[in-house]
């Protein structure tokens, strides 16, 4: 019971606006006092858990995302995708979704996608009749493809805390990502004429599809190299992260010549700050996890749920509901490193593969990051698009209800969607 109170304390502190890392520290302090834990031993165990080669990929992928924001990659990807869907109903909104997906396949984070793609796309969307609130909601949801499409920082964290294969977790989220892309494009197409009218383009197209493709080709080759190298056995996910940094430097600095030395310095500083915050959260979460495991909190939670819910299907639905509710209050890192490991024993007892659970967690994060009251990605999209939050809430809720939740339920109830590819690639 004390362990579950600690988790509730974490949620309450974060809901009250306490910084994430210090919320974790407060919960750790509470647990060490309640369970009379030797803090010296616990610190040693926490630092040993951080001693992982896989975690080296974390700062490298974060740095890749920051470098791409200034490397001219987003602008060329947007032009390329716009030319692909030019003239179709809802084409500009579809180009936003596709560009976010391609960008996410390089950067691995939603924040990089929402900042880079949003800066380029929000102006043209407004000119074509898209309401700013709707455009911000669509941008917020589309940018979260960076969590589902590998390489994903969220999946790296999940693999580390649950001791799963990073490559298997990467492969497990590709199916849900394709489903989400299709759902967003379909929703946007249906929204034209119902929620708003898409105006015809007043600008004369001066860039042919061939020129747009040639210009975007270096950027498009980055995810091909990264994912092809991982799944082809050429290099590990950690080595792929180093290749991604090198590719972003070459493409942005030498080919496009948009990445300057001040941009590089700023990217390194911001990546260092972001990584430091994540590592601190990971350290505290590892220590919290050790205490909870020693006190058998996950096992007790599993036994309690199974005592009230004997049907594995209902257990899945219950965990889905908890993940979505937690994601609406906590950030994606907290859900991934605390809530997910807590429910993993219950999922395994219900017959769910850990890699399948990884895809479920990723889908829940996609919903939670756009759900009030926290909704960090949605608020960021509103800031970039200069859209009032209240105007984006209704479109965001519609996108969650009609796209996000169905994708999560299909992923949950159809294991083959997330397990087929890892099995074909030999990871399971």
Cβ distance 166 to 342 under 8 Å?
A: no
64 vs 20: which has the higher pLDDT: 64
97 vs 114: which has the higher pLDDT: 97
pLDDT bucket at 356, cuts 50 / 70 / 90: very high
Q: Tell me the three state secondary structure of residue 192.
A: strand
SS3 percent helix, strand, coil of the chain, rounded to 5, is: 80, 0, 20
Q: What is the pLDDT of residue 2?
A: 67
Exposure letters 324-352 (e unless 16+ CB within 10 A, then b)? bebbbbbbbbbbbbbbbbbbbbbbeebeb
**What are 15's two structure tokens?**
């809901």
Closest CA to 82 of 111, 102, 110, 105: 102
Q: What is the pLDDT of residues 277-292, one digit of tens each?
A: 878 878 887 888 778 7
Average pLDDT over residues 15-40: 80
The domain segmentation of the chain, as residue ranges, is: 20-32+39-424
Q: What is the pLDDT of residue 149?
A: 87
Q: What is the pLDDT of residue 205?
A: 54
pLDDT bucket at 68, cuts 50 / 70 / 90: confident
Q: What is the pLDDT of residue 184?
A: 92
Q: What is the pLDDT of residue 156?
A: 87
- Helical H runs in 295-311? 297-308
Q: What is the pLDDT of residues 206-229, one digit of tens each?
A: 567 788 888 888 888 888 888 888
Mean pLDDT of the chain: 82
pLDDT bucket at 3, cuts 50 / 70 / 90: low
Q: What is the pLDDT of residue 256?
A: 86
Q: With a cut of 60, say whether residue 203 has pLDDT above it.
A: no
Q: With a cut of 90, say whether residue 301 has pLDDT above it.
A: no
Q: What is the pLDDT of residue 355?
A: 93
Q: What is the pLDDT of residue 206?
A: 59
Q: What is the pLDDT of residues 166-185, one digit of tens each?
A: 889 999 999 999 999 999 99
Quote the distance between the C-alpha of residue 421 and its chain's center: 19
pLDDT bucket at 204, cuts 50 / 70 / 90: very low
Q: What is the pLDDT of residue 420?
A: 92
Q: Tell me the three state secondary structure of residue 386.
A: coil
Average pLDDT over residues 90-114: 80
Average pLDDT over residues 14-36: 80
Cβ atoms within 10 Å, residue 119: 15
């Amino acid at each position: 019971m004390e362990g579950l109170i600690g988790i509730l304390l974490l949620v309450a502190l974060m809901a009250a606006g306490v910084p994430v890392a210090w919320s974790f520290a407060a919960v750790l302090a509470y647990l060490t006092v309640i369970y009379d834990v030797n803090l010296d031993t616990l610190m040693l165990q926490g630092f040993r858990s951080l001693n992982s080669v896989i975690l080296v990929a974390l700062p490298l992928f974060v740095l890749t995302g920051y470098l791409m924001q200034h490397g001219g990659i987003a602008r060329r990807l947007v032009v390329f995708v716009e030319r692909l869907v030019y003239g179709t109903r809802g084409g500009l909104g579809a180009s936003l979704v596709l560009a976010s997906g391609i960008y996410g396949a390089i950067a691995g984070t939603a924040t990089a996608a929402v900042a880079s793609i949003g800066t380029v796309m929000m102006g043209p969307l407004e000119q074509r009749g898209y309401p700013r609130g709707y455009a911000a909601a669509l941008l917020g949801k589309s940018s979260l493809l960076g969590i589902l499409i590998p390489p994903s920082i969220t999946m790296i964290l999940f693999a580390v805390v649950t001791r799963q294969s990073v490559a298997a977790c990467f492969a497990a989220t590709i199916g849900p990502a394709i489903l989400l892309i299709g759902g967003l494009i379909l929703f946007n197409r249906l929204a034209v004429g119902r929620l708003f009218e898409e105006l015809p383009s007043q600008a004369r197209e001066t860039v042919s599809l061939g020129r747009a493709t040639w210009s975007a080709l270096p950027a498009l080759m980055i995810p091909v190299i990264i994912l092809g190298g991982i799944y082809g056995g050429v290099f590990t996910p950690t080595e792929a992260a180093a290749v991604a940094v090198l590719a972003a430097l070459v493409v942005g600095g030498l080919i496009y010549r948009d990445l300057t030395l001040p941009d590089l310095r700023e990217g390194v500083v911001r990546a260092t700050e972001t990584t430091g915050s994540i590592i601190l959260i990971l350290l505290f979460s590892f220590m919290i996890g050790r205490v909870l495991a020693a006190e058998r909190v996950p096992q007790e939670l599993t036994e309690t749920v199974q005592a009230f819910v004997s049907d594995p299907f209902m257990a899945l639905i219950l965990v889905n509901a908890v993940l979505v509710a937690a994601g609406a209050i906590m950030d994606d890192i907290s859900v991934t490193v605390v809530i997910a490991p807590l429910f993993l024993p219950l999922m395994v007892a219900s017959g769910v593969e850990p890699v399948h659970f990884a895809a479920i967690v990723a889908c829940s994060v996609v919903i939670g990051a756009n759900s009030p009251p926290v909704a960090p990605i949605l608020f960021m999209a509103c800031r970039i698009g200069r859209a009032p939050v209240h105007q984006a809430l209704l479109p965001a809720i519609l996108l969650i209800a009609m796209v996000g939740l169905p994708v999560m339920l299909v992923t949950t109830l159809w294991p083959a969607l997330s397990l087929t590819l890892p099995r074909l690639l030999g990871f399971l």
